[in-house]
Every structure is written in structure tokens, then in C-alpha cells.
């Protein structure tokens, strides 16, 4: 690898509030969770420079201009809804105009940037269609087209991938059968996109070019719950995601 590839992971964090009711009494607890550690570790061990922008700060800190976004070779959107980037506090609370950051991502890709979308409850269309990425400039950049309704395909029994293009750079060093996954987002392949792997009858891994840039979609997760321990410890996990980011950056 020549110059170090800079990756920005956006999303993959959450806050949980729980009410515990014990007879007459109840109390509330809160906790913080993150799912990016598996992906971040794999990329860093592969020689990538990785920055994480968690869901709770992305509305404020995601770049609002092309120059700032170009500081990264690849932007990874994982389990983050479109509203977080669309509705900045300036627009939401003060009714002032701000940059459409979904269009900004599109411009970034067309200018040569890399974009990766990884599946989850708030990417692609997501749970109750709350991912909200359908019919956006980001969807137009992706190698897949999204459903209008909740697109989750839950498989507690486990479902495995079928490789379609074993010689694609995205699968370099990824050998043997893939461990089972517990779910994924259902999509359709965009016109002109490359289908690299499927799950059931649906696309699992796809890639395309967009202007001078490249985009990749992986329809399952990069962390639990859709990826069980067997997948996360699989020898193919690190090369798969390193290849995804390397290809999106134009280095593979």
C-alpha cells in the first residue's frame, strides 16, 4: 500500500434507556453501545488510518463542505439514518438553510471519493423504513436500489453467502465457505453494477463506479447481531472489509 488510506466510519453507536419495573417501584438506567470496534480493528491491522464519527455527534461534526470531506479516501456509512446527516441542529432548531450533506456525499463520490454502505437497522431502508436513504443522492451513488418499506430479512436460523465473482478484487484472500449471518437488508442490483456475492436470492455484496469514484454495498452488518461470533472471528472478515475499503479508495 502506497499512501495510507484514510477511512471515516460514520455511525455504529447507540444509547439505550431501560425502565426496570419491580412491583410498585421502577427505575431507569441508560447505557452506551458501539459496534464499530470489529471493523476498525480489522482496517487498522490492515494498514488503514481510521476515524470514527459516532451517531450522537455526526449531526454536528460530519463535514459540510467538499474540501473537508476530501480529507478522507473512503466514507463508510454503517447503521446511521439519513436524517442524522440531513437535519443539523441549525436547520432542525433554527429553521436556517444548511448544506445538504447527502448531495455533498454524492458530489464527493463523483469527484473521486469512495463510499461504502454497510447494512443494519438504520442503513439502506432499515427498520420501519426509518433509514430513509431511499430516493436520496446517496442511493443514486450506490450499486443497489432500495425498497420503500422495511427491508430487513431476519434469519435466526442462519443464512450463508454464495460467491458470484470469486476473482473480484473485493474477495482477494477471502477463501472457503462464509460463516452464517443472522440477517441482512433486502435490495435490488442497480443497472451496471457488479454483483459479487448473494444471500438467498438477494444481493449481499455489490460494487460500482460513480463518476470518478467507487461505491460498495454490503447488505449484512459488520458487527452483532446480524454477524455472530463465528463470522466476526472468521479469517475472511478482515480481508473482506479491507478489500471493500481498498477497492472503494481506488487502490485495488
Q: How many helices (H) and strands (E) does the chain have?
A: 9, 14
What number of other Cβ atoms are within 10 A of residue 173's Cβ? 11
What percent of the chain lies above the pLDDT cut of 70? 99
Average pLDDT of the residues in 26-44: 98
DSSP class of residue 44? H
Question: What does pTM read for this prediction?
Answer: 0.96
The yes-or-no verdict on residue 97 having pLDDT over 70 is yes
Report the mean per-residue pLDDT for the chain.
97
The yes-or-no verdict on residue 224 having pLDDT over 90 is yes
Question: Which residue segments constitute the domains of the chain, with CATH numbers given?
Answer: 6-248 (3.40.50.880)
Predicted confidence (pLDDT) per residue in 151-172, tens digit: 999 999 999 999 999 999 999 9
Nearest CA to 90 out of 82, 100, 80 is that of 100
The yes-or-no verdict on residue 1 having pLDDT over 80 is no
Average pLDDT of the residues in 84-113: 97
The yes-or-no verdict on residue 2 having pLDDT over 70 is no
Burial label, 77 (beta-carbon count in 10 A; 0-12, 13-18, 19+) = buried
Average pLDDT of the residues in 224-248: 98
Predicted confidence (pLDDT) per residue in 78-92, tens digit: 999 999 999 999 999
Amino acid at each position: 500500500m502506497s499512501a495510507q488510506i484514510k477511512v471515516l466510519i460514520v455511525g455504529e453507536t447507540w444509547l439505550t434507556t431501560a425502565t426496570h419495573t419491580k412491583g410498585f417501584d421502577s427505575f431507569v438506567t441508560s447505557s452506551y453501545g458501539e459496534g464499530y470496534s470489529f471493523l476498525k480493528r480489522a482496517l487498522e491491522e490492515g494498514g488503514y488510518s481510521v476515524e470514527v464519527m459516532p451517531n450522537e455527534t455526526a449531526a454536528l461534526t460530519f463535514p459540510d463542505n467538499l474540501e473537508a470531506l476530501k480529507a478522507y479516501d473512503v466514507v463508510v456509512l454503517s447503521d446511521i439514518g439519513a436524517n442524522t446527516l440531513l437535519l443539523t441542529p441549525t436547520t432542525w432548531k433554527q429553521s436556517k438553510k444548511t448544506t445538504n450533506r447527502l448531495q455533498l456525499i454524492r458530489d464527493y463520490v463523483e469527484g473521486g471519493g469512495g463510499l461504502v454502505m454497510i447494512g443494519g437497522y438504520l442503513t439502506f431502508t432499515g427498520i420501519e423504513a426509518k433509514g430513509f436513504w431511499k430516493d436520496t443522492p446517496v442511493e443514486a451513488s450506490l450499486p443497489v436500489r432500495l425498497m420503500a418499506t422495511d427491508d430487513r430479512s431476519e434469519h435466526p436460523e442462519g443464512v450463508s453467502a454464495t460467491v458470484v465473482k470469486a476473482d473480484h478484487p473485493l474477495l482477494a484472500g477471502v477463501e472457503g465457505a462464509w460463516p452464517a449471518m443472522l440477517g441482512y437488508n433486502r435490495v435490488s442490483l442497480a443497472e451496471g453494477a457488479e454483483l459479487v456475492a448473494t444471500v438467498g436470492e438477494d444481493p449481499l455484496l455489490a460494487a460500482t463506479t460513480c463518476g470518478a469514484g467507487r461505491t460498495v454495498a454490503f447488505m449484512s452488518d459488520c458487527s452483532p447481531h446480524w454477524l455472530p461470533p463465528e463470522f466476526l472471528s472468521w479469517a475472511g472478515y478482515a480481508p473482506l472489509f479491507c478489500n471493500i475499503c481498498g477497492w472503494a479508495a481506488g487502490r485495488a
